[in-house]
Chain A
Amino acid sequence: MKENSKLLRIEKLVLYFNSRQGPVQAVDGVDFVLDHNRAVVVLGESGCGKSSLAKAILRLLPRNAGTYSGHIYLDGRDIMPLNEEEFRQNIRWAAISMVPQAAMNALNPVIRVGEQVAEPAIIHLGVDKTEAMVLVKKMFRHVGVPEDFISRYPFELSGGMRQRVAIAMALVTSPILIILDEPTSALDVLTQANIFNVLKRLKKELGISFILITHDIATSSELADDVAVMYAGQIVEVNDAYHFFDKPLHPYSQKLMASVPRLHGDTEPDFITGQPPSLINLPKGCRFAARCPSRYEKCVEDPPMIATDGRKVKCWLYS
């Protein structure tokens, strides 16, 4: 019963891609839970499968998608069995929307931004254009874009403004969950900070939940309630932000945290030697073992998700 009250529950989600060399195990049995009005950060380095996770949740599968299985419960209802049309009508953008990677550069250059933001509202809410424009203005206020920008073209806007427009586009259908894929990675420091202010305000004022997919640990702390660390297609740690940023559990998380450069403080940053494994030829046992400083005999076996007082870690050290 308690589980059903969660906003989003993902169980054993799998998404493989076909390639000449074999299946690319981009998302390989991911479980996590997200509550109402919370933000979870999915942290991981490039190629760990975090963007594929976003695609798997929203069922935005590329042509070469292979195995796609598991359960995604949205408000207690499994959305995996829905057919494509039901999914499109009731889930994608209606309940869960997304700000894709480099969204600010993905706006159509020849259509006014107002019309682009209105588009999802017209399709999903069935409103006419004038009503949609009222909505767009409201969304622009939420994300801090001047209202008169609705009749501008994308090239007339700065990068930060375009990113806000992209967020407005995800927001316009009033979804309960927004997936943000690297929302600030190409932006400047002050713009980044501004965008996070916007996201925080949206969370506070509209009660929206977020899945923030990023590789940037420092800025991810701006929004995170929970942190899920992804490595080689799997979630290796799920922790709440307070514990995570203070003392992460998994050796990979610890290493990642140690590699973050700090403005103040006197610890020398560290780095992780070696390369993450290819998602095609994954090692047996713990996937991080080859690069792990605290590896021992047990690590040749695949570690289970081990729960320690509400936090979960996929590492034998905690068994």
Chain B
Amino acid sequence: MVAVSQANVIENKENTRKTILSINDLHVWFELKRFGFGHVGYVKAVDGVTFDIHESETIAVVGESGCGKSSLMKTILALYKPTKGKIVFDDKDISELDNKGLHWYHSNVGFVQQDPYGALAPFMTVQRILEEPLIIGGIKNKENRIQRIHKAMEEVKLTPVTDFLDKFPHMLSGGQQQRVVIARAMIMEPKFLVADEPVSMLDASVRVEILKLLSNLQKLHNLSVIYITHDLSTVSYFSERIFVMYAGNLVEKARVRQVLDNPLHPYTMALLTGTSEPDAKNAETFKELPPGEPPSLVHPPTGCRFHPRCSRIIMGLCDVKFPPEFEPEPGQLVACWLYQ
């Protein structure tokens, strides 16, 4: 396993590596209004998230839909404004950036989306799609732009480049479309990449290809990557650490092998149980799953947000007090009272 062999090296390197993105006590709340006015409450999509990402580090954020991982991602992309808390990129607080600073930030953060077909404007050719960020990024010389388009397309293996330049997205296969999306994310040569479920809409046989491509690009450019996914089975190829998100909080932050081999948070355990591996024996057994569904983000449960579904609940504690982060294993942070 790639990740295993890297883990030890990383551990030693970790302290020496520079922090590229630092998120501190981030809250992203959306106000709920009735009939366009009249405050009703807040959707607490991200509610107190703190983490650091180092240079050339890949992080997987795992969680179910509605856990707030998309809001977290969009806030990092500066598409949403944080309600509270700080996002510091390369030692600069992004909420304090002026217009020029924002341009600098946008060109340093690439974005790979989930649905490749939707992510590409259907009325633009591949060339135009890739040219857009360059034009906006202020590269005035057309030849320079074309050169960079060629380079980016070669990097994502859309070759021969000239065959693809004039194509419209609908003429490409799903895998090719996703390559265009990746080329667009890479075209400004960012330091940081946000990948939102980049393979979940693709066929099984293409998934691995795209994941490998992303992983190669990450190594080639020393990219830091946030890989957002709901599928634990793909994270091991492509991440050093996993953050598990539940109802607006990060409940477990640890290295990939720690999470996959020795999960500590009951929710992480449930996720692992729920993830299938191809095995005929699966059909004979029922899975032990937590009852119920993720809570509403408007009125989340008091105390630990997972406590109503948790089989290992400590009554009088889990349902009352919000758990802080504990570190039962080195490098494995878990927000659960079981490890106090």
Instruction: List the interface of chain A (C-beta within 8 A of B).
Output: 39, 45-46, 158-161, 188-194, 196-197, 200-201, 215-225, 240-242, 244-246, 255-257, 259-264, 266, 268-272, 275
Contacts and interface: CB of A to CB of B under 8 A. Distances in A.
A106 B289 CA distance: 27
A72 to B, nearest CB: 25
B282 A215 contact: no
Nearest 3 CB-CB pairings of A with B: A193-B274, A188-B64, A241-B280
B272 A275 contact: no
Contacts, number: 127
A245 B205 contact: no
B257 to A, nearest CB: 10
29 contacts: A45-B205, A46-B174, A189-B231, A190-B64, A192-B274, A193-B274, A193-B289, A196-B287, A197-B289, A201-B286, A217-B204, A219-B276, A220-B278, A222-B276, A224-B280, A244-B280, A245-B278, A245-B279, A246-B280, A255-B205, A259-B204, A261-B233, A261-B234, A262-B236, A264-B277, A266-B4, A269-B208, A271-B205, A275-B173
Interface of B: 1-2, 4, 64-65, 173-174, 203-209, 211-212, 230-234, 236-237, 260-261, 270-280, 282-283, 286-287, 289-290, 293
B280 A189 contact: no
B248 to A, nearest CB: 16
Contacts of A246: 280
B293 A271 contact: no
A190 B290 contact: yes
Consensus secondary structure, chain B interface: helix
Given A188-B64, A263-B233, A221 B204 contact: no
Nearest to B259: A263
A255 B286 CA distance: 28
Nearest to B284: A200
Given A193-B274, A263-B275, A266-B1, A218 B280 contact: no
B277 A262 contact: yes
Contacts of B1: 266
Contacts of A271: 205-209, 212
A190 B271 contact: yes
A218 B278 contact: yes
A189 B236 contact: no
Nearest to A227: B280
A215 B280 CA distance: 16
B208 A262 contact: no
A261 B208 contact: yes
Contact of B232 (A189, A191, A220, A222): A189
A162 to B, nearest CB: 12
Of residues B1, B208, B234, B261, which shows the largest number of chain A Cβ atoms within 10 Å of its Cβ? B208
